[in-house]
Each structure stands twice: as C-alpha cells, then as structure tokens.
Amino acid sequence: MNKDKKEKTITLVGGGVMSLTLATLINEILPNLQINILERLSACGLESSDALNNAGTGHAGYCELNYTPADKTGNINIDRALEINQNFEASLIFWAYLNKKYPFFNTKKFIKKTPHISFVSGGKNISFLKKRFALLKKQPLFKEMIFTENPKIIEKWSSLLIHGRAEQENIAATKIDHGTDVNFGELTKQLLRVLKKNKKFKLYLDSETEDIKQTEDHKFKITFKNLKAGNKNILSSDHIFLGTGGRAIAMLQKMRLVEAKGYAGFPISGRWLVCDKVNLTKQHNAKVYTQVMDGAPPMSIPHLDLRVINNKRLLLFGPFAGFNLKLLKFGTIWDFPGSIKANNILPMLLVLFKNLSLLVYLIKQSFMNHHLRINELKNFFPLASPSDWRLLNAGQRVQIIKNCPFVGSKLEFGTEVIYTKNKKLAALIGASPGASVSVASMANVFENFFSKKDYQRLKKIIPSIGIDLNKHPTTLKKIRTKTYQSLGLW
Ligand SMILES: Cc1cc2nc3c(=O)[nH]c(=O)nc-3n(C[C@H](O)[C@H](O)[C@H](O)COP(=O)(O)OP(=O)(O)OC[C@H]3O[C@@H](n4cnc5c(N)ncnc54)[C@H](O)[C@@H]3O)c2cc1C
C-alpha cells in the first residue's frame, strides 16, 4: 500500500538542519504530501546548525580519536568510526544528488575539502595513534590515511603546529586529504530553497510550538503561538518530527510520552577562540584533532580548524565548555529548571554523582580566563599570541541522560531518535556526530514513517544505505569516485 495516498500531512517542529533534511528527503519521494515546518525564530538554521555555532566538521571518523576508544588492555575498537564514516557518505551522496538536480543548489558554498589530521604528542598517545592507524589503514573506507612521526612532514601539513615547538618533543600525526569542512547553516538555507519550489510546503516562522496532543482519529493536534502577533493557531498532522534541538526532551516530557520517561538533558554551552589574521589562516589548511583531556566529555575533544565561511578564512579553536541554564542558545534560563521532573531527577543526580570528573571539568572550564585558554591553544600552536584571538559563543549542547536497564543512569554521547509506539512521532535527541549524519538519521526516520516501497525509492537516490561499503570495496570505489568528483573532494 502506498501510504502517500492515505497520509496527507507531516509537520516538522524546528527549522534546523535535521528537519530541513527530513523535509527534503520527503519532498523528493513524496512530493504530494503536505509538509509544514514550524520554527520559533525568524529564520531557519540559527541555532546549533548555524555556521559558527558548531565546528563544521564533516564527521567521518578520520581525525576524531574519541570514535576509536581503547579499552584498559589497549585494544582499540574502530566500529564507531566505520559506522560514522558510512553515515557521512550517505550525506555526501544526497548533497551530490541535489547538486545535480537543482541548478541553484550549490555544494561549493557549504562544503570544502579540508584535510583531517589527528595530532598527538608523548609516548602513550603516539603508540595509540600508531595502533589506530594500523587498524584503520586496512579498512577500504580509510585506505588513504597516512601516518608520520616526522616533524618536517607535519610542518608541511600545518606550520602552526610545529613552529616554536621543542625539537625533543615526540609527536605524530595521521592525515586524510579528502576530509571536509561543512557550513551546516548554509546547507540549511539551500535545503529550504529546494523545499520552497514545492507548493505543498509551508514554513511558519516566529511560530513556537506549545503543545502537541494525539487525537482519537490517530492524528496530532499541534498548538503554536505566533511570537510576533501573539495569537495561537492549531494544525492537524498525521506525522510529527521534533527537530527542536536542545528542547526535544523537554517537549517530549510536556507531551507526557511514556517513551521519553527517564530521559533528561543537561545543558553544556560551548565557546570558541577565533582568529582571522590572514598571516596565520594561510598557514593552517586542516582540521586538527587530538586526545580528549582528562575528565572531559568526548564531545569536548580539542581541535584547531580552518573554517571558510562566506569566502572568509578563520581559525577556530575549542570547544571550551561552560554551564548555563538554557537548552537553546536563544532560549531562557527557565529552560533547564523546567525540564527537571519527578521521573528524571534521580537519573540526573546519579549521573552527576557517577561523573564527578565531568562536573569538575565543567567548573574549571567555566572559570578559565583568556590567558588559560591561550595556554590550551599552545598545545597545538606554540606561538599563539593572546591578542590575535577573541572568544565567541557556540551553540548550546544538551547531553542526554538515559535510564538504561541493568546499567542504571548514564550519559549518552550519540545522536538518537525516539519514536512513539505507533511510529507516527519521532524526536531527535543528542548532539554528536550530529549534522554530519543528518541524512542517515533522517533516512531512518523516513523508513519508520513511510512504506517499504517508498523507502526502496529513497535507497535509489542514496544507494549506500543498507550496504556495508567497507565490505564492498568495488561498490565503495564506484560510489566515491562519482560523489567525490562531483563535490570536488577528489
Ligand atoms: C559546539 C558545537 C559543535 C558542534 N560541532 C559539530 C560538528 O563539527 N559537526 C557536526 O556534524 N555537528 C556538530 N555539532 C552538532 C550539530 O550542530 C547539530 O547536530 C545540528 O545542528 C542539530 O540540528 P537540529 O536541526 O537538530 O537542531 P538546531 O539546529 O538546534 O535546530 C533546532 C530548531 O528548533 C527550533 N525550536 C526549538 N523549540 C521550538 C519550538 N517549541 N517551536 C518551534 N521551533 C522550535 C529552534 O529555534 C531551532 O531553530 C555541534 C554542536 C555544537 C553545539
């Protein structure tokens, strides 16, 4: 049965990259569906998806050492890196498809080839990187990775990393040339342009969703307020996607969904050091990640990145974590207190108790001054000068706290989708690897919302879905050659 004929409306709450991606997937396969997007701000993509609110790393597992953790005996698990790499491949394929189909969809404006480097110092970290490299190099997905312990070679990759560094310091690095920097804010805008071509698409700006109720005819009644005019409106919808970023858990709680019971969210704000000095930006042409600091959460792994936004080169270093009570950058200080409920206060307290090192880390980070931040930067760029760098607020991250059977409460660092039992409502929670895997995450929502036949049609557009590319090197080569050439990555 083609559900397109039966199901007429889908409403996406939140106008970030996730909702826009899901809406575009639907638009390609089921253009006759009524697609509504409700966004509380006066434009889409201004929260976490905006260019400098995130790091813009096309997460593919190339340089992020937290995706290949080592256990106590030193064994490295590469499964997460393989999974994220394949999921990012789905994003690249979909963007290349849109690039070919729509003349105004210009991937050059939001995706830039930027080498991904992992850079470490000291015997223990070098031995980890060597082992990681040996494992990854054997994988078809990672076969272009190179490793060196030679400072002269690393200097060619980025002179900032080497100049001023003690000669006797042991260092090592790996590099993949076809890494990417992605401006997810620009991507969001371009997806919106695709959607606006469809007469059945409707965007409601300045429209904050206040309440969602399931009705007896198995639909949803959505109440939203126009924040400019002050009046309330109602929409009826067959499906709902909550792409409300940091507010997703709070919204699910408000709906009293059993599926959201025991979930909580803990806000962690982010800040970058930013530099636009041309003499420095031209010396660094990569995204360089290192090991996470002791006690820090995995998403706080420090990195020094070249960003190119609106043709302007910038260096970005961080993230520095902090604590404030907002669940969204443009939220209020009542967000977090309002999300504490009888069913999640215990998991939250248990998690804080189990992760005291995280708490200490957050307190230390919150009290850092400019001088201390520059000292951190000097681990990457020994000659960094405080006057070249300024502090910028990034987006707000909400760390998921989950009550798991047998394990108890724990912090989750992934990107997760919660569904209602009838699979008519889906909500995205969590941050990393986030926007990079938006296409794979949203294809999964598509599969749950629509018929098998429709999902098969989607797979024709994104042929990597459902295939383990690492186990099919010939297919991988074929797909990568076509996609990467069209995106200018090869
Ligand atoms: C510091 C930082 C660094 C990051 N780095 C990376 C990176 O390098 N690579 C990567 O892939 N990802 C990264 N991420 C994650 C990435 O930014 C997110 O995964 C992605 O932007 C999430 O998109 P979204 O659409 O779910 O949320 P958002 O972009 O936050 O959009 C949510 C939208 O919902 C709206 N909204 C909320 N409540 C309501 C309501 N009640 N009614 C109507 N609208 C509402 C908000 O106004 C907002 O526009 C990073 C995130 C942060 C914070």
List, in order of start, the domains of the chain with CATH numbers. 3-487 (3.50.50.60)
Cα of 441 from ligand 1 centre, angstroms: 14
- pLDDT tens for residues 73-85? 999 999 999 999 9
Residue 385 CA: distances (Å) to CA of 157, 368, 394 = 21, 17, 22
Q: Give the residue ranges of the chain where pLDDT is below 70.
A: 1-7, 294-295, 298-299, 405-408, 413
Residue to probe by mutation, ligand 1, list 13, 48, 95, 299, most atoms within 8 Å of CB: 48
Alpha helix locations (H) across 102-233? Answer: 123-137, 151-157, 159-162, 184-196
Assign residue 242 a region (left: φ > 0; alpha: ψ between -120 and 50; beta: otherwise). Answer: beta
Residue 206 CA: distances (Å) to CA of 228, 229, 440, 454, 461 = 6, 9, 29, 32, 33
Ligand 1 atom closest to the CA of 41, numbered from 1 = 47
Ligand 1 atom closest to the CA of 397, numbered from 1 = 53
Residue minimizing CA distance to atom 41 of ligand 1: 209
Ligand 1 atom closest to the CA of 272, numbered from 1 = 1
Query: Can you list the pairs that 459-462 forms with residues at least 24 positions away whose Cβ atoms lie under 8 Å?
Result: 461/28, 461/29, 461/93, 461/94, 461/97, 462/90, 462/93, 462/94, 462/97
Phi, psi for residue 271 in degrees, rounded to 5: -140, 150
Question: In which element (H, E) is residue 180 found?
Answer: strand 180-182
Residue among 377, 350, 359, 368 nearest 275 (CA): 377
Contact (CB, 8 A) for 17 and 195: no
Q: What is the pLDDT of residue 3?
A: 47
Both structure tokens of 365: 């980070």
Cα of 132 from ligand 1 centre, angstroms: 31
Residue minimizing CA distance to atom 27 of ligand 1: 245
Cα–Cα dist 36/38, whole Å: 7
Ligand 1 atom closest to the CA of 270, numbered from 1 = 1
Task: List strand residue ranges (DSSP E) for 281-436, in order.
Answer: 287-289, 303-309, 312-322, 390-404, 408-412, 416-419, 425-429
Angle formed by the axes of helices 438-449 and 79-101, nearest 10°: 80
Contact (CB, 8 A) for 313 and 281: yes
Ligand 1 site residues (CB inside 6 A) read: 13-19, 38-41, 46-49, 54-57, 59, 184, 208-209, 243-245, 247, 270, 319, 328, 394-395, 397, 428, 431, 433-436
Q: What is the pLDDT of residue 7?
A: 55
Residue to probe by mutation, ligand 1, list 12, 36, 42, 49, most atoms within 8 Å of CB: 49
Sorted by sequence, the CB contacts under 8 Å of residue 119 that are 6+ apart come out as 154, 161, 171, 172, 173, 288, 289, 290, 380
pTM: 0.95
Cα–Cα dist 395/327, whole Å: 10
Q: What angle do CA 5, 10, 16 make, to 5 degrees?
A: 145
Cα–Cα dist 408/292, whole Å: 25
Residue minimizing CA distance to atom 25 of ligand 1: 16
Q: What is the pLDDT of residue 440?
A: 96
Centroid of chain to Cα 355: 23
Residue position matching structure tokens 């060597």:
130
Ligand 1 atom closest to the CA of 49, numbered from 1 = 21
Residue among 27, 395, 427, 29 nearest 192 (CA): 27
Q: What is the pLDDT of residue 274?
A: 98
Ligand 1 atom closest to the CA of 436, numbered from 1 = 11
